Structure formats: structure tokens, C-alpha cells
Structure 1
Amino acid sequence: MNEIIQKALHVKNAARELAVATTSDKNSALKAIAKALDRRRDEILEENEADVEKAKERGLRESLIDRLKLTNKRIDGMINACHEIARLKDPVGEVIDSWIQNELRIAQVRVPLGAIGMVYESRPNVTLDATILALKAGNSVLLRGGSDAIRSNLAIAKAIKEGLKKSSLPETSVEIIEDTDRKNVQEMLHLNDYLSLIIPRGGAGLIKFVVENSSVPVLETGVGNCHIFVDKSADIEKSIEIIDNAKTQRPGTCNAVETILIHEKIAAKILPAMAERLRAKGVELRGCEKTAKFIEVKPASEEDWSTEYLDLILAVKVVKSLDEAIEHIQQYSTGHSEAILTESYSNARKFTASIDAAALYVNASTRFTDGEQFGFGGEIGISTQKLHARGPVGLRELTTFKYIVLGNYKVRD
């Protein structure tokens, strides 16, 4: 029995125990994991530093190294996340609806999904996020992280296992695949007898591969080609502040803005100031011919409009109207997060009604598409699909439901 099958069997069996675990037991396990992370802090940071150095040697760009790097502050954030998820209401056992029909009492009750497979790239915090959300929702999890973060992931998983040992939950509730050979991902995608769901988290290539090759149901966490449209009525100074935040705060995240659409009536006023602000932070601007009339930019190609840069690069297009902005977003959006900056209530309403995306913003940064920012306590990814879950995938989205039907020796006529 190879590593993947053995560990898949572990999480499948553990899922049965987790399904009936009490809220108290699950919360105690999360707190034990938090303590283990703190105890193993130095080891985790040391292993992460080795991953970061290797990534630098390979020439990984700075925005992606930022996603890979752990600091004491980020470890503190991971520890706090354990306590925050422990404080959240347990979704398992919630009666969603109930009614009486045919002299039967029928209840729709929330239950765990079971054993979840998580396939992700170079973000070691996902090892912890996926674990604590899965456990609180009564699920086990099989983790397969990328080679860029393997030492960090294994160190975090070691702490998780140590915490589980000190709890009443099965230590095998969480397993991590140590072999980073890509063939293991292919095998994992066909573990229908063991896993209830696969969740990919990473770049477009990984997500596309999982969606196209998995026979296990997939919860697609999407690519973020996010747009901001600056309407002609928008406050220029406040709009530049939002654009700066959405692009430069953490450019390597899926909720960072990649394309700015500017109404032509405000272009002459906003573009020079926006360009000055962004260039001071190292942002490369790629613009259409109209944009080039107002500021110096690298000519944008057709590919730029559909690219998730995950870097300090921003595409800029000047449009004639709200309708043209909507048409552009409808063509190139990945359905993640889209925003309009405007003082017009009717334009805001039209924008939010016309654009099909997981999160739509009026006068706010796309960077808020995040489970913690939405009050979910955390998230396992951002779903851009429409069935089962959409947007930040929190505790509720990691459950399903079943019907419990009570009768008095009732037979069907």
C-alpha cells in the first residue's frame, strides 16, 4: 500500500469519528494545535527560511516569495486563527429546516462532508487554515502542498499532529503527502472510494488541471482577474487610495486588482496622479491607446486583459461608459471580485446587477474578499463556482445536509 492510499484510508476512517465528535472536543483540539504551533515556532520558521532561500535561488518573483514566507507575526496570526475558529459556532447539527408531512416529522440537518483532499501550491499557511476549518466542520483532510513549501508544510503538519495527539480527536484526522512528485496529484484526484471532495488552491494551471482531471467532486477555488471601474462621478483622491490598496498591499493574492477601467470623462484628472502613486511603489503600468494619451505606459496586449499577474503589474483601460466597462468585465472576469467606484446610486445598482462574480464591491477594495474579513473566521479558499459554495469557503461551506425523518411505524399508502 503506497503513501497516498494509506493516508487516504486514515482520513476516511477518521472522518467517521469526527462526524460524531462534540463541539467541545473539536475546540479543544484546535487549542491544542495552537499551543503546538507556538512550541514549534522556531522549527517552523527555520524550515520556512530554507524554503524561501531555495525559492530565491530558483528566481521566484518577490510577490510569490511573500506568499511563501512566514514570520513571527504570521505564526501569531495562525495561532490566533485556531482560537478564532474555536470561538465560532459549530455548524454541524444545525437544523436548517423542519416540517411535518404525511404524519412524518422531517428535518434537514447540517452534517460534515467527510474526508476532504486539499491540493495547493506555495502558501504554507494553507496547511493550517485547511486543517482547522475542516476539523471544526467535522471533516478530516488529506493535504498535498507544493514542493516550494514542502519543508514549511511538514513542520506545520508536525505541530498539528502533536496537537491532535493531546486531544480526543484521531491523530489521523489530518495527513500530509510528503512525496511532492506531481504524479501523486493525479492519483489523489481519483480517490473516489476515500475522499468526498477535492479543493485545489493555487494558480490557474493547477486549478485547471484538477478540474479537468478529477473524478472526485471538485470545489473550484478560482483565479482572480479582478477589475475596478472608476466611474466619472468617483472621488479621485479616494479612488486612488483604493486602487493603491487593491494592487500593492499584497499583489500576490487572488483578490488583488489586475485591471483598472477609467471613465474617459475622468481620465485626464485621475490617471497622472494614479500613475505617480503606483510607480512610486514599483508598479508597472500597461495601458490601451487612450491611456497612453494621458500617461506613459507599456502598450497592453489582448493577453493583458485576461492575465492574473499576481505581481506589481497593472493593466489600465479608458472606457466611454459604464456599459463599456460592464462589457469588458463580462468578457474577461474570472468571477472572483469586481468593484465600481462611483457617487451614482443608479450606476452602482446597474453594475452589481449586471456583473456575475462571487463578490461585488461599491466604493471598496477587492482585497476584502477574504473569509476573515467577511467574519467567517477564516477560509479554505475563494470559490468562483456557483454550486454548493461561492466566495470565501468557511465552515458552513464545508458541510452538507441530510434528512432525518421521524415516524410512528408509518407506512406509505
Structure 2
Amino acid sequence: MSSIVTETGQGGQDSRDGAEAPEYAAVRAAAQRARAAAPAVRAARQGIIDDALCAAAARIRDQGPELLEINAADVEVAERNGTAPGLLDRLRLTEERLAGIATQLEVLAATPEPPTEWPLRTLETGERVFERRIPVGVIGAVYEARPNVTVDVASQVLKARSAAVLRTGAAALRSATALVEMVLWPALREAGLPAEAVQLVELPGHAGADALVGLPDLVPLVVVRGSGEVTRRLSVLGATAGTRVLSHADGGGVLYLDSSATEAEVTRLVTDSVDRLGVCNRLNLLLVDRPVYDSLLPVARAALQAQGVALSEPPHAHPLGHEWALDSGAEAHVTVAPVDGPDDAADTAARETSGLAATICAADEAVAQRFIDRYTGTGVFWNATSRLLDGYKLLGLPETGINVDRTPGPRGPVTYRDLGLRQFVVLPPA
């Protein structure tokens, strides 16, 4: 049992009689089913997992109308509950978005699996040293109410030859269930793999997520994404239990307008950076070089207004890096502040935000390079929108999320290539 303390008592046990709380029992059962299916996924012959992904893509296309109808019911309930427009945008599926999910599955299936073993060196005594990549076994995921993430994460975990235990936000539970039961399970069976390799925790509220990060014996790695507050809480719970939590939390893109920026580039980058407001890599903080603050700010303001977005101008009653995408009902805002050149802009972006991504809009290459060399965040761009910090756009692969850790490990868009374990193999002399 885990050592997590929950509202029901210690380690998921009901404090009244010492029995395991129902939420923990349900998650543990799902994790046990995934663990039982994991060996078949690991041992699947080359191409079988890709066959399952292609079958899932075909099912999404064939059953699109039914999937959209089920998702519409989720959206309707969310609207009645007063869900903010940005969150509704994340929840909503469309024909175009379903087609995008199917295409990404096919792209992932067509991506060759990386080598599982490669030579490193031969010791002076003749032994040969190899490095091997092996599956984790079972990987959990806790994520926001975004139906597409159910497929994104499940497909990445399967491609990494592990089984998945998924827990989504309650608002997307119908849609996620449909994608698992109508798409993923039949596709796995069609490829000759156990459907139990993908499990969905059908529990609303936080108890399911708390339980999932508290089962290191069954689910040693859990990907957690969502608001910073939630991911930090789950990271602490996971660390207490001994679970490795790979968190994808705070976001918010930064755009710095340099004195050398042209008005046309400012308009283009601002417009491209706010095409969606409920995503983590959208424009969140606009920094303007002080000498051109009065001349370029009106250009940026006009571009934002055309997209229905307002500026939060100095003096600010909120932190400079306040993430508007997570501010329910106020998503249509961008914070603006003056800075003193590219060095100050890069430092401000790194200090005041999560360090997700920052763009410099500049015609001067030397200035752009100074900004690039100075910024320490996950992604840095020159005359390109921070919206490109996305697994599919940047790497041609779906992602489990974007990691902004400031320590060694997978950073930026996390794909199946990051979801394996390193193992060393030493063989006798040839």
C-alpha cells in the first residue's frame, strides 16, 4: 500500500474500518489489469503495435459522427455548468480535430521504432558494454478534460511498449470512455493485443488521480498535466509514495518585440500566437523594447483586438507571468510590459514565467542570437510563434505533454522516445 494521506485516511484506507477506500480499490484493479497486459505489449513482434495504431485511426474516421455526438453531450453539460470558453475549446471535438487525431496516429505508426540496443565500448579486459532501452511496464497519466489527450497519451505509451492507466477530467469522461471503448480497445484486439493494455479510471473528482500516483508497485511512472496547483500537489503525493511523476504543469508563451521588429512581423506573430486561448503555448506575456513601446504596442493591440483579446497593461494587479489560459473566464487576455533590450527580455521571460517558450521578433540577427543564447527556457524562437512548441508541430509526433523541468530529464514535448528505461548490458569478449 502507498503511504499517501487522503481525505479517507492513511494510504487510501478508510479510517473507519481500515478497508481500502473504493477509489483506491478501483484504481488498483485497473492498474493490475494493465500490469497483466504489459508483457504482451512488450513482447509484441515488430509492427503489431503500429497495426493497432492504424486500426485506431480507421475507427476514428469510421465512427466520427457517433464520437462527435457523445462529445457534444459532454460539451452541453459543461456549458450548463458555466464552464469558461477556453476550457470548452479544450473539451470540444470537431470533424477537423478528429481527423487530426487519426492522422497523428498514422504518423506515429509510420515512425520507425528506435534501436533497443546499441554498443558503447569494449573494456580493457575484453567485455563488451551495450546500452539497452527497455519499457517501463505500466505508465499512468492524469490530464485535463481534453478528449484528444486520451488518444495522444495512450498511443505514446503503447508505442513505448508499455500499458497505460488513464485518468481525465470529469467533464471529458464520456468522450474519453468512447475513445477507449469504441476505438482503442477494438484496435488492440484487432492487432492481437490485449485490450486491457489501456485502462481508463472512470472516477470523477481528485480521488482517482490521488490513487494513481500512490501505486508505485503497479504504476511506477505517472505523467501529470493540468494546472500548476494540481500538478504540484500530485507531484508531492507521488514523491511521498515513491512514484516518479513527470509533470507538465504551467505554461504561457512569451513574445519579445525588439526595436528592430517590423510592424508586419509583429502583426503576424501576435495573430498566430493567439489562435487558441485555452492551450499552454499561446501568447501569454508580451514584452516590448522600451524605445519602441509607444510605437509597436498599438500594432500589437490592434492584432490582439482583431482576435478578441485584450491587453493587461501596467501597472499590473497580478504577477507578470500570470497564465491567462488557466484563468477561467479571463482567457482572452495578454499581459504587456516594457523591457530594456534582449537581455532583459530573456531574463524577464525566464524569471517571470514557467520557462515554456519565448519568441523574439526582430530583424537584427545579432540581437536575435543574443536573446536565444540568454534565454534558459524549454523552447526559444526567432520570428516564429511559441505555438510551435508542440510535439506534433515540432517533432512530427504526438506528445504526452510539455515538460518544463529545470533539471536533467525529458524536457519540452515528451514523446514515446522519452518513456523508456536505460539498462546496461555487459557481454563476454567476442
**227, 238, 261: which one aligns with 1:203:** 227
How many angstroms apart in 2 are the aligned matches of 1:211 and 1:282? 36
Computed over aligned residues only, the root mean square deviation of the Cα atoms, in angstroms, reads: 1.7
Tell me how far 1:16 sits from its aligned partner: 2.2
Tell me how far 1:403 sits from its aligned partner: 1.4
Per-residue deviation, residues 231-264 of structure 1 (Å, max 9, x unmatched):
1111221122101211x21111110010100012
Amino acid at match of 1:392: P
Q: Give 1:343's aligned residue.
A: 363
Whether the aligned pair in 1 keeps the contact of 2:42 and 2:161 (CA below 8 Å) is: yes
Distance verdict in 2 for CA 1:306–1:273, change over 3 Å: closer
Worse overlay, 374-383 or 141-150: 374-383
Amino acid at match of 1:176: L
Q: Give 1:308's aligned residue.
A: 323
Q: Give 1:270's aligned residue.
A: 296
Q: Give 1:388's aligned residue.
A: 409
How many angstroms apart in 2 are the aligned matches of 1:330 and 1:370? 19
TM-score of the superposed pair, with normalisation by structure 2: 0.88
Q: Give 1:99's aligned residue.
A: 121
Q: Give 2:3's aligned residue.
A: none
Q: Is 1:218 equivalent to 2:245 in the alignment?
A: yes
Amino acid at match of 1:349: Q
Amino acid at match of 1:188: L
Tell me how far 1:350 sits from its aligned partner: 2.2
Alignment of 1:42-191 (within 5 A): 42-91=65-114, 93-95=116-118, 97-101=119-123, 102-158=125-181, 159-191=183-215
Whether the aligned pair in 1 keeps the contact of 2:275 and 2:307 (CA below 8 Å) is: no
Per-residue deviation, residues 180-237 of structure 1 (Å, max 9, x unmatched):
2321211111111011211012122221122121131011213113211111111221
How many angstroms apart in 1 are the aligned matches of 2:301 and 2:82? 28
Whether the aligned pair in 1 keeps the contact of 2:78 and 2:88 (CA below 8 Å) is: yes
Whether the aligned pair in 1 keeps the contact of 2:301 and 2:310 (CA below 8 Å) is: no
TM-score of the superposed pair, with normalisation by structure 1: 0.92
The count of residues paired between Structure 1 and Structure 2 equals: 396
How many angstroms apart in 1 are the aligned matches of 2:232 and 2:346? 26
5+ residue gaps, structure 1, are 289-298
Q: Give 1:296's aligned residue.
A: none
Q: Give 1:292's aligned residue.
A: none
3-state SS of the aligned residue for 2:72?
helix
Per-residue deviation, residues 130-177 of structure 1 (Å, max 9, x unmatched):
111111111111000110101101000112111111112221110001
How many angstroms apart in 2 are the aligned matches of 1:179 and 1:7? 12
Amino acid at match of 2:60: L
Q: Give 2:263's aligned residue.
A: 236
Tell me how far 1:94 sits from its aligned partner: 4.5
Q: Is 1:192 equivalent to 2:216 in the alignment?
A: yes
3-state SS of the aligned residue for 1:266?
helix
Tell me how far 1:179 sits from its aligned partner: 1.7
Per-residue deviation, residues 247-305 of structure 1 (Å, max 9, x unmatched):
x21111110010100012222221122212211321111112xxxxxxxxxx52242x1
Per-residue deviation, residues 56-113 of structure 1 (Å, max 9, x unmatched):
1111111211111001111111111111110001125142x42111211111122222
How many angstroms apart in 2 are the aligned matches of 1:265 and 1:160? 55
Amino acid at match of 1:317: A
Whether the aligned pair in 2 keeps the contact of 1:91 and 1:395 (CA below 8 Å) is: no
3-state SS of the aligned residue for 1:265?
helix
* Percent identity for Structure 1 against Structure 2: 27
Q: Is 1:251 equivalent to 2:277 in the alignment?
A: yes
Tell me how far 1:43 sits from its aligned partner: 2.4
Amino acid at match of 1:306: G
Whether the aligned pair in 1 keeps the contact of 2:355 and 2:377 (CA below 8 Å) is: yes
Tell me how far 1:390 sits from its aligned partner: 0.4
Q: Give 1:33's aligned residue.
A: 56
Q: Give 1:370's aligned residue.
A: 390
Tell me how far 1:49 sits from its aligned partner: 0.5
Q: Give 2:5's aligned residue.
A: none
How many angstroms apart in 2 are the aligned matches of 1:390 and 1:116? 18
3-state SS of the aligned residue for 2:261?
coil
Q: Give 1:361's aligned residue.
A: 381
Distance verdict in 2 for CA 1:92–1:154, change over 3 Å: farther
Runs of at least 4 residues of structure 1 off by over 3 A? none
Distance verdict in 2 for CA 1:342–1:140, change over 3 Å: same
Tell me how far 1:408 sits from its aligned partner: 5.6
Amino acid at match of 1:218: V
Q: Is 1:284 equivalent to 2:310 in the alignment?
A: yes
3-state SS of the aligned residue for 2:90?
helix
Tell me how far 1:17 sits from its aligned partner: 2.2
How many angstroms apart in 2 are the aligned matches of 1:149 and 1:59? 15
3-state SS of the aligned residue for 1:389?
coil
Q: Is 1:261 equivalent to 2:287 in the alignment?
A: yes
How many angstroms apart in 1 are the aligned matches of 2:291 and 2:172? 47
Whether the aligned pair in 1 keeps the contact of 2:41 and 2:163 (CA below 8 Å) is: yes
Whether the aligned pair in 2 keeps the contact of 1:29 and 1:166 (CA below 8 Å) is: yes
3-state SS of the aligned residue for 2:244?
coil
Whether the aligned pair in 2 keeps the contact of 1:376 and 1:395 (CA below 8 Å) is: no
How many angstroms apart in 1 are the aligned matches of 2:117 and 2:59? 30
How many angstroms apart in 1 are the aligned matches of 2:397 and 2:145? 22
How many angstroms apart in 1 are the aligned matches of 2:278 and 2:323? 9
How many angstroms apart in 1 are the aligned matches of 2:307 and 2:363? 28
Distance verdict in 2 for CA 1:92–1:196, change over 3 Å: farther
